[in-house]
């Protein structure tokens, strides 16, 4: 069974903390994505990667960075968490031109 | 950035009713995907449409791609409580690797 696994389902962090969200896929996909999902706004793309060590900004990259050192792992980093980054974060992977497979999401609360 | 508008934003209906949700774009789609997201889960692909005028059926779900490839609809016949979820349309943007998602339609089917 194909899988995208996000390291945490729920996370509570303090303002100013550095936060790491981890995502691992077992499908040997070249593309990986980080989205955030907020009510009424749908899924908004933060960053994506089409190869190891490659990354491109999505629509809302401010306040975030990413790391892809291995093909199967894509990490999202909040350098200094703020309350407006409280959201559901979804990781996805795909083979180019095919469907996107999503993880179960991480609900992050910044207090 | 391409904008995908979905309507209605919310829909609450009784079991057995029919419904249609819509996805519209500000420009021509290269291809369009429909996903369903159940509470606490990531989105899961339902269908991909590519050709203008295309109609695809998945049991009680009928997907239509507009002739001009700027709009799509999802029709559910005799809705069941198991159809409850968030329905998202998405475009795989031509020449890139990324998916742009619509704002979503949240459907609740009451038993």
Structure tokens at A103: 């993880």
Which of B1, B101, B102 to substitute to test the interface with A, most A CBs within 10 Å?
A: B101
State the burial class of residue B22 (Cβ atoms within 10 Å of its Cβ: 0-12, 13-18, 19+). middle
Q: What's the CATH code of the domain at A97? A: 2.60.40.10
Structural domain including A13 reads 4-110
pLDDT at B17 over 90: yes
Q: How many domains does chain A have?
A: 1
pLDDT, residue B1, reads 55
* Mean pLDDT across B33-62: 93
Chain B window 72-91: which residues touch A at a Cβ cutoff of 8 Å?
88, 90
How far away is chain A from the Cα of B16, in angstroms, using its nearest Cα? 27
* Predicted pLDDT of residue A40: 80
Q: What is the pLDDT of residues B68-105, one digit of tens each?
A: 889 999 999 999 999 999 999 998 876 677 888 998 99
Query: What tens digit of pLDDT does each residue of A1-57 get?
Result: 679 999 999 999 999 999 999 999 999 999 999 999 998 888 999 999 999 999 999
What chain B holds in terms of domains, given with CATH numbers, is 4-110 (2.60.40.10)
Best interface-test mutation with B: which of A99, A101, A102 has the largest number of B CBs within 10 A? A99
Cα separation, A69 vs A54, whole angstroms: 9
């Amino acid at each position: 069974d194909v899988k995208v696994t996000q390291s945490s389902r729920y996370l509570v962090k303090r303002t100013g903390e550095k936060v790491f969200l981890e995502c691992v896929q077992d499908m040997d996909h070249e593309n990986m994505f980080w989205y955030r999902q907020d009510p009424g706004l749908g899924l908004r793309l933060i960053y994506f990667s089409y190869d190891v060590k490659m990354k491109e900004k999505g629509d809302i990259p401010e306040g975030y960075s990413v790391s892809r050192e291995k093909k199967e792992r894509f990490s999202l980093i909040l350098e200094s968490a703020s309350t407006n980054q409280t959201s559901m974060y979804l990781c996805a992977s795909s083979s180019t031109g095919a469907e996107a497979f999503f993880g179960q999401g991480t609900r992050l609360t910044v207090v | 950035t391409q904008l995908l508008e979905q309507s209605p934003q919310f829909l609450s209906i009784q079991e057995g009713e029919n419904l249609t949700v819509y996805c519209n774009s500000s420009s021509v789609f290269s291809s369009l995907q429909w996903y369903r997201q159940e509470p606490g889960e990531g989105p899961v692909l339902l269908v991909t449409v590519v050709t203008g005028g295309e109609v695809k059926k998945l049991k009680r779900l009928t997907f239509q791609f507009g002739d001009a490839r700027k709009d799509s609809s999802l029709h559910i016949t005799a809705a069941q409580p198991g159809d409850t979820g968030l329905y998202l349309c998405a475009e795989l943007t031509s020449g890139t690797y990324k998916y742009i998602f619509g704002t979503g339609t949240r459907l609740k089917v009451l038993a």
